[in-house]
Each structure stands twice: as C-alpha cells, then as structure tokens.
C-alpha cells in the first residue's frame, strides 16, 4: 500500500484519449524517469505482447480476476519503485467481487466493488497525509503550503476527508460516527 511504499505517490497517471477511441492509453510518469504507456483497449495484437492476459490474484484477502497490463509496465514499476517482480493488474469486467457486511451476517444486499480497499468509501486523514509527504524524499513539488497538502489529498480521491490529532490514527478505528450515522 502507499502507506508502506510511500514512493507510490510520486507516480502520476494521465488518461490520454485520442480521436480514435481504441487508441487511447494510460500514461504513468515518475520524476526523472521516462514515462510508460498502457493501452486502454485490449486487442488481439496487445495480447501477443502479454498485455491483456487474464490472471488471478488476491486483493484485501479476496480472490479477484484481473487483466495483466504487460511486461513493459511491470518492468517500469519494478524499476521506479525499486521492488522486483511487480505487475500492474487491471480489473476484469468478468470479476464479480462483492461488498459484504462483516458486522451483520444477515445483510443480504451484495453490490459490485472495484479493486479498492474493500469499500467504495475512502477516508483520508490530513494528519497522515502530512506525515506521508514528510517521508517522501524526492517529491518534486515539496512545499509547506496548504495548496500542496490539498493537491496531495486530491490524489487519493477520498470521499471523507478528516483530521485527527495523530498520524495514522485511522488504522486503529473500528467505526466512524458522523452525526447519527455510524
């Protein structure tokens, strides 16, 4: 996770859409490194390049089905993050991962979920983000301004933005109460 591998926050993704929709791509950038491009649409030709092969993996202890984004991005990720054997996996449209309510076993409603951390909600603690910024050595945009903090928080795309007294306090919480809602 980004809390463990803080340099993940230095990767900036850009989706490039072209006139011919089938030619669009995701471009990943990292400071002082050449970018890598991943096609948004899987074709028979890209499968020959190992892009688009179905694979199985685990996310948050759930078995998921994904699509491998290929060797080029795998080598690039391993290089920029200094971690061997990384793969970028895209969620398969065939994946049927569902939200379950672990606190209420009788809860019957099952909704599809993305590869996000077990939930469609993401709580961001500004104190933890300040701490994360302080841990990243080569951040190109380093600054102490509130605009920088706000921009960094936006990168996480959180639904709920809070501030606690201590960094990573949220890792110990079992529930959050907002007004009468738990």
| Tens digit of each residue's pLDDT (9 = 90 or more) over 102-139 | 545 554 455 555 555 555 678 889 999 888 888 776 66
Q: Tell me how far apart the alpha carbons of residues 86 and 84 are, in angstroms, rounded to a whole number.
A: 6
State the pLDDT at residue 113.
54
Q: What is the pLDDT of residue 81?
A: 92
The one-character DSSP state at 4 is T
- pLDDT tens-place string over residues 44-85: 555 445 555 667 666 666 677 788 898 999 999 999 999 999
Give the model's pLDDT for residue 159.
81
**Chain position carrying tokens 């009468």:** 180
On the question of pLDDT at 140 being above 90, the answer is: no
What is the pLDDT at residue 29? 94
The residues near 55 (Cβ < 8 Å, ≥ 6 apart) are: 65, 66, 67, 68, 87, 89
Helix axes 146-156, 126-135, angle to 10 degrees: 100
Quote the pLDDT of residue 47: 47
Helices (H), 18-145: 44-48, 71-80, 126-135
Going from the C-alpha of 100 to that of each of 76, 96, 118, the distances in angstroms are: 35, 12, 9
Alpha carbon distance, N-terminus to C-terminus of the chain: 26
Residues 1-39: pLDDT tens digits? Answer: 676 778 888 899 998 887 776 678 899 999 999 999 998
**pTM (predicted TM-score):** 0.56
Residue 27 β-bridge partners: 14, 37
Answer whether 13's CB lies under 8 Å from 28's CB. Answer: yes
């Amino acid at each position: 996770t980004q809390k463990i591998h803080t340099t993940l926050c230095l990767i900036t993704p850009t989706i490039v859409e072209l006139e011919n929709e089938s030619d669009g791509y995701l471009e990943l950038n990292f400071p002082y490194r050449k970018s890598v491009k991943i096609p948004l649409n899987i074709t028979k030709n890209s499968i020959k390049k190992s892009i688009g092969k179905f694979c199985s993996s685990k996310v948050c202890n759930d078995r998921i089905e994904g699509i491998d984004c290929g060797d080029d991005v795998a080598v690039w990720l391993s290089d920029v993050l200094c971690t061997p054997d990384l793969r970028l996996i895209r969620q398969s449209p065939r994946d049927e991962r569902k939200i379950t309510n672990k606190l209420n076993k009788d809860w019957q409603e099952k909704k599809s979920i993305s590869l996000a951390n077990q939930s469609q909600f993401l709580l961001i603690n500004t104190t933890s983000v300040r701490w994360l910024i302080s841990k990243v050595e080569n951040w190109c945009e380093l600054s102490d301004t509130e605009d920088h903090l706000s921009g960094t928080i936006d990168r996480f795309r959180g639904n709920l933005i809070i501030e606690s007294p201590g960094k990573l306090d949220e890792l110990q919480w079992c529930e959050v109460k907002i007004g009468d809602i738990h």
